[in-house]
């Protein structure tokens, strides 16, 4: 029977367990064996008890569970070739020639290097030619688990809607105090390079103002923000003020706009009794919402299909969703596009591009 490995790496996200469950069950349904690699790539490097077969009933009840039950780690060892050699050896010894990884770091490098790793292991006498013969190609398929929804080429990453739901609940809770005391609240949400959580939660809670990395505000934004908030409070009679700040928010000079800076402005300029709430990791944990349960299930199933249908020369795919369709997208394309967007919003020229866009808007 073919053996398919599944691992989770990078930051945990609600829905990752649903994805592992779907991979395990679809593998078994497809007459393969499923192996969980514990603690991400660290488990591949260390082997032994960190690679374990999972059966149908082992993943029962995993759909709703938060975090990742098979663990995740930032493996320093896997970043080195020596670590990847040990990983390749462990996989061959365990008879695993296919991997579903959630999320993507390192996946394609490992696949590209795979034949070289095997020849080195044979040359070093660690494995025999006969042992490596059946494992000429490594099939890797990616799934994206990230609360930030920060991958290009997909409408949603596994976990982002659970996180959005938790943020909205938290803002609703803060509303009560804000309303009662006529206060301002500056709420900082996660999103290092991506403002999706901040933007979506601001729309969904009717926030007064918003900061995201992709759209740094014009110089003088302090005046604009204060004017809008004053108008909302005085003319529209709003008793509470909510400002959402993405973790990676920046101004036109690419300086960080922090929640405490915004709080100080509201306090000092408007005399508004303002508090800061940094939601932190409460946004990442907890049960997966319905959307993430079905997304992870459908994508996990598709990942196993993709592994089984992969040709030796076809590029590794990442499973995406676009316009409600579960699709396979070349992994390298999605990674490259994402890196390009991130680099763009961190480049000096970004401010100039923003100014041009402002001018276009005026016209
Ligand atoms: O999962 C991505 C993310 O949520 C980012 O938005 C945030 O900066 C980061 O994780 C925090 O990660 P860590 O758990 O390593 O502090």
Sheet holding 33-37, edge to edge: 51-54, 33-37, 3-8, 96-102, 139-143, 317-322, 325-330
Is 214 marked as binding a ligand? no
Mean confidence (pLDDT) of the chain? 95
Nearest CA to ligand 1 atom 4: 190
What's residue 363's pLDDT?
Answer: 67
Which atom of ligand 1 is the closest one to the Cα of 146?
A: 1
| pTM of structure | 0.94
Angle, to 10 degrees, between the axis of helix 221-234 and the axis of helix 259-270? 60
Phi-psi region of 151 (alpha: psi -120 to 50; beta: other; left: phi over 0): beta
Q: Enumerate residues 6+ apart whose C-beta is below 8 A from 22.
A: 296, 297, 298, 299, 300, 301, 303, 304
Instruction: Tell me the CA distances in angstroms from 91 to 36, 78, 88, 306, 316, one per residue in order.
Output: 12, 14, 5, 19, 18
260 marked among binding-site residues: no
Ligand 1 site, residue 147, Cβ cutoff 6 A: yes
For residue range 134-186, what is the model confidence (pLDDT) as tens digits? 998 899 999 999 999 999 999 999 999 999 999 999 999 999 999 999 999 99
Shortest-distance atom of ligand 1 to CA 12: 1
Annotated catalytic sites, by residue? 148
64 labeled binding residue: no
Query: Atom 6, ligand 1: which residue's CA is nearest?
Result: 191
Q: Which of 7, 18, 107, 13 is nearest to 295 (CA)?
A: 18
Residue of minimum CA distance from atom 8 in ligand 1: 192
Coil, helix or strand at residue 319:
strand
pLDDT at 214: 94
Contact 14, 292 (CB under 8 A): yes
Among the atoms of ligand 1, which is closest to the Cα of residue 159? 1
315-345 per-position pLDDT tens digit: 899 999 999 999 999 998 888 999 898 898 8
Contact 321, 156 (CB under 8 A): yes
Q: Do the beta carbons of residue 36 and residue 69 sit within 8 Å?
A: no
Assess whether pLDDT exceeds 70 at residue 359: yes
Whether 54 and 100 have beta carbons less than 8 Å apart is answered as no
- Taking only the tens place, the pLDDT of each residue in 52-64 is 999 999 999 999 9
Per-residue pLDDT averaged across 235-255, rounded? 95
184 lines ligand 1 (CB under 6 A): no
Q: What spacing in Å lies between the alpha carbon of 15 and ligand 1's midpoint?
A: 16
Q: Evaluate if residue 106 carries a pLDDT over 90.
A: no
Q: Report the residue count for the chain.
A: 363
**What distance in angstroms lies between residue 283's CA and the mean position of ligand 1's atoms?**
10
């Amino acid at each position: 029977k073919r053996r398919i490995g599944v691992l989770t790496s990078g930051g945990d996200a609600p829905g990752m367990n649903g994805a592992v469950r779907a991979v395990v069950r679809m593998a078994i349904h497809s007459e393969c064996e499923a192996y969980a690699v514990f603690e991400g790539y660290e488990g591949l490097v260390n082997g032994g008890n960190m690679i374990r077969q999972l059966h149908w009933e082992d993943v029962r009840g995993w759909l709703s569970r938060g975090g990742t039950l098979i663990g995740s780690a930032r493996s320093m060892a896997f970043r080195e070739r020596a670590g990847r050699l040990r990983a390749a050896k462990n996989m061959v010894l365990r008879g695993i020639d296919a991997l579903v990884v959630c999320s993507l770091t390192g996946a394609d490098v490992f696949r590209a290097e795979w034949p070289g790793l095997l020849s080195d292991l044979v040359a070093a006498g660690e494995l025999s030619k006969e042992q490596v013969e059946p494992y000429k190609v490594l099939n890797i398929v990616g799934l994206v688990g990230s609360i930030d929804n920060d991958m290009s080429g997909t409408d949603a990453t596994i976990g982002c809607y659970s996180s959005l739901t938790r943020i909205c609940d938290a803002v609703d809770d803060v509303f009560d105090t804000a309303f009662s005391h006529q206060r301002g609240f500056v709420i900082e949400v996660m999103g290092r390079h991506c403002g999706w959580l901040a933007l979506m939660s601001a729309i969904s809670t009717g926030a007064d103002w918003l900061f995201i990395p992709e759209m740094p505000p014009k110089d003088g934004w302090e005046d604009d923000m204060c004017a809008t908030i004053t108008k909302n409070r005085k003319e529209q009679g709003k008793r509470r003020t909510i400002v959402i700040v993405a973790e990676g928010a920046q101004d036109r000079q690419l300086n960080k706009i922090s929640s405490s800076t915004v709080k100080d402005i509201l306090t000092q300029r408007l005399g508004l009794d303002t508090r800061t709430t940094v939601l932190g990791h409460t946004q990442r944990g907890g049960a997966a919402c319905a959307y993430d349960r079905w997304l992870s299930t459908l994508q996990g199933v598709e990942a196993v299909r993709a592994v089984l249908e992969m040709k030796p020369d076809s590029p590794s795919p990442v499973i995406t969703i676009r316009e409600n369709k579960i699709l396979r997208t070349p992994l390298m394309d999605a990674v490259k596009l994402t890196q390009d967007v991130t680099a763009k919003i961190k480049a000096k020229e970004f401010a100039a591009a923003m100014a041009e866009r402002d001018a276009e808007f005026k016209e």
